[in-house]
Amino acid sequence: MLASTIGRAAPAAARAPMSSRVAPVAVRRGRGLVARCFASAAEVKIAIEGMMCDGCSGRIEKVLKGMDTVKSVHVNLEGKSATVELTKGDAASPEAKAAAAALVDTINSLGFEAKLAQ
């Protein structure tokens, strides 16, 4: 869908000033498209030791997705890590720090060794 609009004029919503738009998906600049994202949620990276198979990573992902503070989760078995997008707050907020600590504690309670990645 995005490629089909490259040669055409931008829709009226895309031409509107930034103050009247909430969060554009992509903005046209010159010949290419530049993706924009106005994230209001914090992203937490967690290093996880002890995952041996897809079942391990799937279990962690399923449990974390069930938490109220989690918007999305991606567990990388080969990279031994998880990237979690929290539902609210920026990374420096007290809520995000408390949620990150809860994520680490939850993963540890599943029998893995987790810590916040640097």
Given a cut of 80, whether residue 105 has pLDDT beyond it is yes
In a domain, 3, yes or no: no
Q: Choose the weakest-confidence range: 8-22, 87-101, 103-117.
A: 8-22
Residue 12 lies in a domain: no
**Domain annotation covers residue 97:** yes
More confident call, 45 vs 28: 45
Domain membership of residue 108 (yes or no) is: yes
Domain count, the chain: 1
Decide if 84 contacts 43 (C-beta within 8 A).
yes
Q: Is residue 14 part of a domain?
A: no
Closest CA to 2 of 48, 38, 35: 35
Please, what sign has the CA dihedral across residues 76, 92, 87, 99? Answer: positive
Domain that holds residue 100: 42-116
37: in domain:
no
The CATH number linked to 102 is 3.30.70.100
The continuous run of DSSP H or E covering 63 comes out as: helix 54-65
pLDDT tens-digit profile of 62-98? 999 999 999 999 999 999 999 999 987 777 788 888 9
Does residue 81 form part of some domain? yes
pLDDT (0 to 100) of residue 41: 65
Which of 99, 113, 94 has the alpha carbon at shortest distance from 49? 113
